Structure 1
Amino acid sequence: MIQNEMSRRRLLGLGVGLGAAASLTLAGCGGGSATRSGTAGGNGGKDYTGPKVDLKLWNGFTGGDGDIFKKLVEQFNTEHQNIAVAVNTYRWEDYYAKLPGAVSSGSGPDIAVMHMDQLATFAARGVITELDDVSKALGLSEGDFAPTVWKGGLYNQKRYGIPLDMHPLGFYYNKAVMQKAGLDPNKPPTTREEYEAALTELKKSGVQGFWVSPFQFTGGMTFYSLLHQWGATLFDADVAKATFNSDPAVEACTWLVDMVKQGHSPGNVGQDADYLALKSGRNAFNWNGIWQINDLGKSADVQWGVAPLPQIGSQKAAWANSHNFTIVKQRNADNNKVAGAKVFINWLSQHSLDWAKGGQVPARKAVRESAEFKALPGVAALAPELEYAAFPPAAPGLGEVITTFYTAFNEALLGKKSPKQALDDGAAKATKQLQDNRKKYGS
C-alpha cells in the first residue's frame, strides 16, 4: 500500500491533536456577518432557482474514494447549470488545521466534509452553521438513518452535519493461512471461544495469528471496539469524566495484552505491520478499517475475506466514524450560495449508493437496504455493524482527549505499565482535559 494512503487513513477517524487547531484563530468568524445577496434560500435544499453561484468545497478524500467523489461532483455540476462546485482536496491533517484560519480570513470554503467527532469542535468555535432547516425541509429524521449516525450530527440540540456515510472497523482474514492451519477458510470465527480456538490452531502451525499494534491504527481502534464490547465506555454520559479505566475496560485491555504474552502476536508491532502481515500471509486476522477493502480488491494474489468484528465481549460493538456535510460560516454571507450548498448536500446524500463504491457504508437506511448496495462486494458485509457501532461522542475538543486514551493503550501493550495502571493514569489526564475543554468551549 502506498505510504501516503496509509497516512491518510490514520486520520480518518480521530483527527489526532486537531481539536486544538480548531480553536486557534476563530475570533470573530462566527458573528456579525453581513448578508450580501439573494432571496433564493429558505427551502432547505429542495431546489435552487437563483442566479449562478460558484461554491468551494473542501474535503480530505485523497485516495481512490477521492476520484469517485470528484466524479459525483462533476455529475452534479452537469445537472445543475446554476450551481458550480469546485473541489479542493487536502490531507485530513492539513485540512483540519487549515480550515479555521481560512474561515477567519474570509478565504474558507462554502461546504466542508467533516468527521463526526470534529463537528462539535467546529460548531463551538463558530466555523460551521446550523442545518436544522435542511433536515426539516427534506423530511429527514432519525428513522432515515442509524440513530447513532443521526444523533452524531447534533451539538447543543442543533444540527450541524448531514451524515453521508459511516466507516467502521472490520474483521479481515487470510483464507490461505487459515486453510494451512486446518481451519475452514469460509467460516471466520464470530465468538471469543471460536476466536481463541482458531488462534490456538494457528499457533500450532507456526503462525502468530493476530498481530496487535500498539498504535492508534489499528491496535488502539481494536481496543476501542473491545472496550465497548465489554460494556464499558470512554467517558460518562456528560463527557465530563473519563471512564476508560473501569473494571470491564481493564479486562478488555488485558485480553489484548495477553495476545502478546500468549504468543499470538509479536511484542512490538510496527505501524501498519499488522495489515501488511495479513497481505503477505504472516498472520491470519486483522481488525482494520473498511477502507482496506479497495486495497485488498487490487491484491489478486491474496485470498481474503471480510466480516463484522467477532464478539469477544458480552455484546457486539465496533469502532466507527462518519463523514458529514457541513456549511461553513462566512464573514459576508451570501444567501444564494447557502441555498446552492444545501441543494448540493441533499443531492449527494441521495446519491450515496454511488459513494459506497468508494468504500463507505451509506448513512441513509433506504440505500443500505437496497439490492444494489447489498450486491457490492466487501462493503455490504460490514453494513450490519452500523446498528451497534461505537461512535465518538459529540463534544468539542475531543481529539486530544482520545489521543490520551490511545497513549494509555500504547503503554499497556508495550508493557511500560500494567493495563490497570496505564488506564488509570490515562483516565486521570483525560478527565483533566475534559474539564479544561468545558471551560474553553462552555458546558
Structure 2
Amino acid sequence: MKKLIAAVALAAGAAVALAGCSGSGTGSSSSSHVDLTFWHGYTEADGKVLDQIVDDFNKSQKNITIKTTTKTWAVIGDTLLPALSAKKGPDIVALPAENLPVYASKGAFAKLDDFYASDSIKSANLNPRAVEMEKVDGSYFGVPTGFVPLSVIYNKGLFEKAGITTFPTTWDEWVADAKKLTVDENGDGTPEQYGLALPDHATVGNGVWASLFYGNGGDIVKSGKSVVDSAANVETLKFWSNAVTTGHISPTGLDGVASDKLFSSGKAAMEIGGPWMAGVAADAKIDWGIAGIPAGPKEQAASAIGISAAVTAQADSTKQAAAKKFFDYFFTKEVATKWSLGSGWPPLRTDIPASDVSSNPVVAALTAISGTARPLLPGVANSVDVLSAVDEATQKSLAGGDPSDLLSAASTKVTQALSK
C-alpha cells in the first residue's frame, strides 16, 4: 500500500486538470437512464461476489446500469488521476482507505455529506469507526466497503503442546504465554520456535504498532497534531522492546512479510495479521485460531484495514444521485450480509451478528471482535511519511535504542509530514 500512495504522489501533477472535472458535479443528464462505471481492485473471489451484487442491483431496477472494471489496487493508484484529468475515469472507484484523503485533497472526489444525512443510511447501523475513515477536513468523501481489525492468528497445536488452553486476554498474559511458547532446545540463545512473530517495521498496513499504542491509551495523530511521543507510547514501546530483547519471544528485524513466513513455517506460535492469514495457515496445514489482540493497560483496540468507495468529481449530479442509490442498496442488510460472507470481512452493519455469518468461520471470528477496530490515521493525506517515522522508531527501539528519544525524533518528523 505504501507503493500505491507513492504512485499517487507521482501523479500529483495531473491533479491540476481536476478543477474542470469538479465543475461538472452540478450538471445533469438529459437521459432518464444513467450508466455508471465502477473500478475496483477486488481481484479474487471477493471481486466475483461484488460483480454479482452490482449485477443484482442492475436487475433490481430499470433506470441505472453499473459496469464494473477490475484492476489491481496498484493499477488504480497509477491511473486514476490521469484518467480523471482526461475525463475518462470511473464514476465510482474503490481503493484502500488510507488513499482517500490523498485524492479528496486534490479535488478528485465528490462530497457525500448529504448521503450520510439521509434516513436510509441513518437507519443502516453502519459501523461508526468505519464511517470515520471516510471523513476528510470535516466532510465525507467515501463509503466503507471493507473494515477489518487486525487480529492474532495462533497455532492451536503449539498451544496444546505448551499446555495453554485459553487464549490470553491481557498484555501480561500474552507475554507470559509467548515465553512458554518460545523454545530454545540447544540453549544457543537462538530459539527454534518463537512465541510471537512481532514485526518491528513495515507491518501489515503499518497498523501493528498503532494497535499496541491504542491498547495503552496512546495514538499517533490526534486532532491533526502528532502525539506519537506521548508518555503512554513511550511506556508501550519500552514494554514490548523489553519483551522481545530480554524475553526473546520474537526475533528482531522482522518486517511483515518475514513475520508471515515465520508463522506459516510453524516457527512462531502467534502473529498479528489480517484475515488472509487464515488461508495461508490452512495451506500450511496449521490448525489455526483467530482472537482479538489482547487488551493493553487501558483498552482492547486494533488498527483496521479499510477499503473505501468514492464517487469521482467527473460524475455529474445525476450520476452522483445514481451512485448513492447503489450505495443504499449495498448497505441493505441482505446485501451487506452477502458481501461480508463473500469478501471474508466482518459486516459493515453493526446489527448483523456473528451468528448470521457463521457459515464462514473467519468472518464469524472477526465479527465477534470488530468492535475493537479503529481506523488508522483517518483524514491524514500524508500518512506514508507519518508511518515511516513510526517505523524507524519501533525498529531502532527493538534493536536497543531508547524509546523516549526515538519517539521524540519521530514526532518531529510526523509534525513535518502533517504540515506538508
**TM-score bin, normalised by smaller chain:** 0.7 to 0.9
- For the structure 1 residues 428 and 376, does the alpha-carbon distance in structure 2 shift closer, same or farther, using more than 3 Å as the test? same
What's the CA shift for 1:175? Answer: 0.5
d(CA) in 1 for partners of 2:236, 2:171: 12
d(CA) in 2 for partners of 1:219, 1:29: 29
Verify the 8 A CA contact 1:109 1:328 in the aligned structure 2. Answer: yes
Secondary structure class of the residue paired with 1:362: coil
d(CA) in 1 for partners of 2:202, 2:360: 28
Secondary structure class of the residue paired with 2:210: helix
Secondary structure class of the residue paired with 1:378: helix
What's the CA shift for 1:108? Answer: 0.8
What's the CA shift for 1:302? Answer: 1.4
Residue 393 (structure 1) aligned with residue 384 (structure 2): no
Gaps of 5+ in 1: 1-10, 41-49, 437-443
What's the CA shift for 1:104? Answer: 1.1
Verify the 8 A CA contact 2:354 2:367 in the aligned structure 1. Answer: no
Verify the 8 A CA contact 1:278 1:284 in the aligned structure 2. Answer: yes
Corresponding letter in the other structure for 1:435: S
Partner of 1:23: 12
Corresponding letter in the other structure for 1:188: F
Partner of 2:201: 215
Partner of 1:359: 344
d(CA) in 2 for partners of 1:258, 1:34: 55
What's the CA shift for 1:72? Answer: 2.4
Residue 283 (structure 1) aligned with residue 268 (structure 2): yes
- Runs of 4+ with deviation above 4 angstroms: 13-16, 34-37
Residue 432 (structure 1) aligned with residue 416 (structure 2): yes
- For the structure 1 residues 407 and 177, does the alpha-carbon distance in structure 2 shift closer, same or farther, using more than 3 Å as the test? same
Verify the 8 A CA contact 1:293 1:379 in the aligned structure 2. Answer: no
- For the structure 1 residues 194 and 348, does the alpha-carbon distance in structure 2 shift closer, same or farther, using more than 3 Å as the test? same
What's the CA shift for 1:37? Answer: 4.4
CA RMSD of aligned residues (A): 2.7
Secondary structure class of the residue paired with 2:169: coil
What's the CA shift for 1:142? Answer: 8.4
**Cα deviation code 1:147-178 (max 9, x no counterpart):** 22223322333222222331210111101111
Residue 189 (structure 1) aligned with residue 168 (structure 2): yes
What's the CA shift for 1:233? Answer: 1.2
- For the structure 1 residues 306 and 422, does the alpha-carbon distance in structure 2 shift closer, same or farther, using more than 3 Å as the test? same
Secondary structure class of the residue paired with 1:93: helix
Q: Where do 1:66-85 residues align within 5 Å?
A: 66-85=47-66
Corresponding letter in the other structure for 1:160: F
Q: Where do 1:76-95 residues align within 5 Å?
A: 76-95=57-76
Residue 160 (structure 1) aligned with residue 141 (structure 2): yes
Verify the 8 A CA contact 2:25 2:110 in the aligned structure 1. Answer: no
Partner of 2:326: 344
d(CA) in 2 for partners of 1:353, 1:385: 17
Residue 38 (structure 1) aligned with residue 29 (structure 2): yes
- For the structure 1 residues 208 and 223, does the alpha-carbon distance in structure 2 shift closer, same or farther, using more than 3 Å as the test? same
Mean Cα deviation higher: 207-216 or 370-379: 370-379
Verify the 8 A CA contact 2:110 2:312 in the aligned structure 1. Answer: yes
Gaps of 5+ in 2: 186-192
Partner of 2:243: 259
d(CA) in 2 for partners of 1:65, 1:221: 23
What's the CA shift for 1:143? Answer: 7.4
The number of residue pairs the alignment matches comes to: 406
What's the CA shift for 1:16? Answer: 4.6
Corresponding letter in the other structure for 1:123: A
- For the structure 1 residues 254 and 92, does the alpha-carbon distance in structure 2 shift closer, same or farther, using more than 3 Å as the test? farther
Secondary structure class of the residue paired with 1:172: strand
Partner of 1:306: 290
Secondary structure class of the residue paired with 1:286: strand
> Which of 377, 381, 385 is the aligned partner of 2:361?
377
Partner of 1:101: 82
Secondary structure class of the residue paired with 2:121: coil
Partner of 2:219: 233
Residue 203 (structure 1) aligned with residue 182 (structure 2): yes
What's the CA shift for 1:25? Answer: 1.6
Verify the 8 A CA contact 2:5 2:77 in the aligned structure 1. Answer: no
Relative to the length of structure 1, the TM-score reads: 0.83
d(CA) in 1 for partners of 2:385, 2:7: 7
Q: Where do 1:320-335 residues align within 5 Å?
A: 320-330=304-314, 333-335=315-317
Partner of 2:188: none
What's the CA shift for 1:221? Answer: 2.3
- For the structure 1 residues 266 and 142, does the alpha-carbon distance in structure 2 shift closer, same or farther, using more than 3 Å as the test? farther
Partner of 1:123: 104
